[in-house]
Chain A
């Protein structure tokens, strides 16, 4: 089975810190995604990547950046964390966009204080 691993389950960071959320998948998928999940808002796409070193903005990219130096790893970066970035962050990967859906990681619950 495809596995998507997010490095941290829970994180607490201070306002203004630079935060890295790491995601690794083990099935050679080209496509990787970062979503945030907030109550009542569902999952919202932050950034995604079709291939190594490629990235595309999603629906809510402000305050975030990403890095994909290797096919299996997709990092989400909060350049200067703010309290409104407190959320659950979900990473996903997929083989064929849209056709087979996504495989998700367990999520990282980030609290910015």
Chain B
């Protein structure tokens, strides 16, 4: 069965600090997909990134970067030079072929960036 763990319930940083959100997953499949979503105070989950299990290249998008390591079953998310607008709940999610590709979400990490 698939499982996603986000051990950090809440993180608080000061603007311009770098912050890393951890995500650890469990799956028996060789083909799976990993996702990160952002949920701002407005409530709507916003898609940030998708990664398939065969592509371990790290990705950078502006101030956002993702580190995918199959050896440790982790898919961590780093925000560089954080801004107040980054304050949100961030969810990591996993889908695997054997379970009909349903998305399983982690518990979420509440990030607060203080001015």
Contact = CB atoms under 8 A, between A and B. Distances in A.
A107 B44 contact: yes
B110 to A, nearest CB: 9
Interface string A87-101: 010101000111111
Contact of B107 (A9, A35, A41): A41
Contact of B100 (A9, A97, A106): A97
Interface of B: 6, 9, 33, 35, 37, 42-47, 50, 91, 93, 95-97, 100-108
Interface residues of A, number: 26
Contacts of A107: 43-44
A34 interface: no
Contacts of A100: 50
A104 interface: yes
